Amino acid sequence: MRNWVTWVQGLLLVVAIGLVAALFISGMGGPKPASNRPSPSTSPTPSVVATQAPPSVSQEKPGVPAIPIAEHETWPIEGSIDPDRQVDYKSTATPKVELPAALGGDLAAYWQQQLEWAKCGKGECATVKVPLDWDNPGKAALDIAVVRYPSKNPKNGPIFVNPGGPGIGGKAYADMLGADHWEGFDTVGWDPRGTGDSTHVVCGSTEDTDAAYRADSSPDDDAEQTKLVDAWKKFARDCRDASGELLDHITTIENVRDLDLLRFLLGGEKLNYVGVSYGTYIGAMYAELFPDRVGRLVLDSAVDITNDQEVAQVEGFELSFNNFADWCATSSECTLGDSRQAIFDKVSGVVKGLDASPLKVDDREVNQGTAVTGIAYFLYSGAEQYSTLAKVIEAAIRGNGNGLLVSADALNGRGRLEWNTEAYAFPAIRCIDSYDNGVAKSVELWHEVSAKSPLFGVNMGVEPVCETWTAKSVPFLKLTGKGAAPILVVGSTGDSATPYRHAQTMAEQLESGVLLTYDGPGHGATTNGNKCIDEAVSKYLTEGTPPVDGTTCTP
């Protein structure tokens, strides 16, 4: 089973790889989408500043893989697949998500769109129609929100960017990068289907969602486990009631087909792309489905695309916490202890104590799962966040859990008053992309991983959202990108969210993969300002020359 989508990655509902993109984009400006924000089709239309006619299709069929998806190799799967999912649930509610009408009865109508670009901030925004179902294009459409920052000298065409997730929109990432972040490229970000300002997933009320996320994820007995499972069953049904058929069509496979259509409509002969975290899965999937259209792909902080289960994600957090503890033990800015073990013992004891006695923060609580999620938030960065993390933990020891709650909310996707769209899009995309072996198996795996991760594995526990989801999972494709141009895979040895081994195995499995290593902490090496990494990535993007496989950069 693929490590990033097994139960262990089910922990990502609390400490999401891509919900960490909230950390990347928290200072980017622009509001985060709220759960009930209207879709782009119902929003006011700004004045058009440019009209872009569709390119000539010729022999190309944008969004249509040369080899049908059903003919791609899949990984063998052990055990029963999705045994506890609520796939027979029949909603009687009218969905809140309204699907736009199809452009026509075939794909040609989507290929022949004329894009209207309007000024938005310092960039230009447009809405692109894609088919809800690529194999039945006349059924309905989806709105895909796109932003571009034109280069002053657009000699290299568009470069698409994605910060991860799943569930995080890419527009805000493009806003952060701006024009000419890589010289000669138009920077383009899009909110994938189901996310952000695109036609997006909607679930239950703030109170209903709170009930699921607040459920005790480390059950001590059968009664607590039943209560936990029931909470996520309710969450899954709420999402089906509100989102309807959209939940069946938000796979990464479909997202990648949308991306190929965007590439075509924006004039890219080949796809140039930078993806971080879950964004590496998008890039690897693109290379598998459209290898002949791969231009220059940078896949940074790779997720696991293999059957490798040797390193769980929580082990990455455990490693990062140990690095923090080593700093703390010798720093005057930290009073948690004078050795790694002493610091672990103190923090672990405090966190476990929250199971029976949560900290009160206004009308909410900080339990053990919330606490380690709040700690994990700071570990996505490097050592520059250690001092703040120390202060937040010290405050919790004194009985003030506000810092842990705020940081956990940021990672989970909860705003001050309501949940953001990513909190709904994340499980919706992850669960249809991934299979599971049921609730009982997830509990078994929790106990196994707890031995390797005594702080994060033990206290994050089980989040059976996929095990109780209302959509079946899609086939598990083996991604090799056979025939693609060289693909640059970047990994950090101290990455907390996507362990370095995943970058190694991704570079090995992709037939044209080249590994570039950052020997330091943090999640997202292409955004940490390291000169060595920046120069290698820029040379690859602008000249097409990747570094020597195995090149290592140091802080």
Of 205-209, 313-317, 511-515, the range with the lowest mean pLDDT is 313-317
- The residue with tokens 């004039």 is 267
Task: Report the percentage of the chain scoring pLDDT > 70.
Answer: 91
| pLDDT, position 19 | 36
How crowded is residue 101: how many other Cβ atoms within 10 Å of its Cβ?
12
The 3-state secondary structure of 308-348 reads CCCCCHHHHHHHHHHHHHHHHHHCCCCCCCCCHHHHHHHHH
Task: Let me know: does 390 contact 334? Beta carbons within 8 Å.
Answer: yes
| pLDDT, position 309 | 61
| pLDDT, position 20 | 36
**From 277, 381, 434, 512, active-site residue:** 277
**From 304, 320, 495, 496, active-site residue:** 495
Task: Let me know: does 490 contact 246? Beta carbons within 8 Å.
Answer: no
Task: Let me know: does 261 contact 110? Beta carbons within 8 Å.
Answer: yes
3-state secondary structure of 411: helix
Average pLDDT, the chain: 90
Task: Report the percentage of the chain scoring pLDDT > 90.
Answer: 80
Tokens of 528: 């940490």
Q: What distance in Å separates the CA atoms of residue 402 and residue 379, rounded to the nearest whole number?
A: 18
Q: H or E segment at 283?
A: helix 278-289
3-state secondary structure of 359: strand
| pLDDT, position 311 | 57
Task: Let me know: does 186 contact 159? Beta carbons within 8 Å.
Answer: yes
Which 8-state DSSP code applies to residue 371? H
Count Cα neighbours of 16 within 13 Å in the Cβ-side half-sphere. Answer: 33
321-328 CB contacts, 8 Å cutoff, 24+ apart: 321/347, 321/375, 321/379, 321/455, 321/456, 323/383, 323/494, 323/521, 324/379, 324/386, 324/389, 327/383, 327/386, 328/386, 328/390
Q: Rg of the chain's alpha carbons, rounded to an integer?
A: 22
**From 181, 200, 249, 523, active-site residue:** 523
Tokens of 525: 């090496």
What are 256-301's pLDDT values in tens digits? 999 999 999 999 999 999 999 999 999 999 999 999 999 999 999 9
495 is catalytic: yes
| pLDDT, position 18 | 38
Sheet with 48-52: strands ordered across: 48-52, 115-120, 123-131, 141-149, 185-190, 157-162, 271-276, 294-300, 487-494, 513-521, 551-553
342-349 CB contacts, 8 Å cutoff, 24+ apart: 344/454, 344/455, 346/397, 347/321, 347/375, 347/393, 347/455, 348/454, 348/455
β-pairing, 115-120 with 48-52? antiparallel
What are 180-189's pLDDT values in tens digits? 999 999 999 9
Q: Is 257 exposed, middle or buried (0-12, 13-18, 19+ CB in 10 A)?
A: buried
| pLDDT, position 246 | 98
* pLDDT at 310 exceeding the cut of 70: no
What are 164-210's pLDDT values in tens digits? 989 999 999 999 999 999 999 999 999 999 999 999 999 999 999 99
How crowded is residue 550: how many other Cβ atoms within 10 Å of its Cβ?
11
What are 406-450's pLDDT values in tens digits? 999 999 999 988 999 999 999 999 999 999 999 999 999 899 889
Tokens of 403: 């810092």
List C-alpha distances in Å: 24 to 29, 386, 413: 11, 17, 13
Residue 521: alpha-carbon gap to chain centroid: 19
| pLDDT, position 53 | 86
3-state secondary structure of 555: coil
Tokens of 537: 């990535």
| pLDDT, position 35 | 35
